């Protein structure tokens, strides 16, 4: 299992598949952290980012698994409360109070069950495994990561309009040669990050591929930046990574979910 730590201006990029991990079959395994230099004072930020990704996957998986039981209990609470207040509560406007109290009771049942799931022994056990795995990570110093950081830093020299045009026309500066065997994994991890911060990224990528009006596509990219939903530098790096980056599978796809 790998994670990637890429320094850039501002907040560093912490990339991995952990956000999309399939918790059904998840088992802790040695974690390699690929970085250009020792993380130093950024270690706490790094571990918190990876932990948040895994906990997000764990909570999402648990919510999906427990959705039907929560729905049934909430529906039963609604029905029982509605029948109770219909028989006990006499008011001049029929159904209004009964429906109001029943919806409140159903919502309360949903929240109580969700919080009980969070405090369950199963969740606590999984969280302990996650903490143990992250605490024992191994750092792998990488020349390829240093090359990626240098390439990314060079992208700051372009204006948003220039960068959008190069993305749309496929004329980004070529990446340096990467020889350490994790280029595709890094690319898909970057895609996972892009999806997490921009829900419309798949539409944007399809438009870049299929729209033959490159000038219109460039204007679209600049607009997405102006409304705050797109990071052009991250997108440019993703596009520059080449053929491996076109494997745009959803997080539920096994090829993306596993490391």
More confident residue, 42 or 243: 42
For residue range 97-136, list pLDDT tens digits in order.
778 888 888 888 888 887 777 777 777 777 777 787 787 8
The full set of domain ranges for the chain reads 66-131, 143-259
User: 212 and 29 in contact (C-beta within 8 Å)?
Assistant: no
pTM, to two decimals: 0.71
Distances (CA, A) of 106 to 77, 98, 191: 5, 12, 38
- Coil, strand or helix: which one is 211? coil
Distance CA 237, CA 223 (A): 19
Cβ neighbours of 2 (radius 10 Å): 18
Mean local confidence (pLDDT), 14-24 = 74
> What confidence tens digit (pLDDT) does each residue in 26-72 have?
666 788 899 998 988 888 888 888 888 887 777 777 777 777 888 88
Q: Quick one: pLDDT band at residue 246, thresholds 50, 70, 90?
A: very low
Q: Which contiguous run of DSSP H or E holds residue 13?
A: strand 13-16
């Amino acid at each position: 299992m790998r994670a990637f730590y890429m320094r850039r201006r501002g907040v560093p990029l912490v990339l991995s598949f952990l956000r999309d991990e399939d918790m059904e079959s998840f088992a802790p395994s040695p974690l390699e952290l690929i970085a250009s230099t020792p993380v130093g004072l950024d270690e706490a930020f790094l571990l918190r980012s990876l932990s948040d990704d895994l906990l997000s996957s764990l909570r999402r998986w648990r919510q999906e698994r427990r959705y039907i039981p929560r729905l049934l209990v909430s529906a039963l609470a609604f029905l029982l409360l509605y029948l109770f207040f219909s028989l006990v509560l006499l008011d001049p406007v029929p159904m209004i109070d009964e429906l109001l109290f029943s919806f409140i009771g159903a919502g309360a049942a949903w929240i109580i069950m969700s919080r009980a799931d969070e405090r369950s022994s199963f969740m606590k056990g999984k969280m302990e495994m996650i903490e143990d795995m992250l605490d024992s990570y191994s750092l792998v110093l990488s020349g390829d990561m240093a090359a990626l950081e240098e390439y990314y830093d060079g992208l700051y020299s372009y204006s948003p309009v220039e960068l959008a045009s190069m993305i749309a026309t496929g004329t980004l500066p070529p990446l340096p040669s990467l020889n350490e065997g994790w280029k595709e994994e890094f690319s898909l991890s970057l895609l996972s990050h892009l999806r997490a911060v921009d829900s419309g990224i798949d539409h944007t990528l399809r438009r870049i591929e299929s729209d033959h009006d490159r000038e219109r596509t460039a204007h679209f990219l600049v607009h997405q930046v102006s409304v705050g939903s797109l990071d052009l530098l991250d997108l440019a790096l993703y596009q520059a990574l080449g053929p491996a980056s076109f494997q745009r599978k959803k997080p539920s796809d096994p090829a993306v979910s596993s490391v």
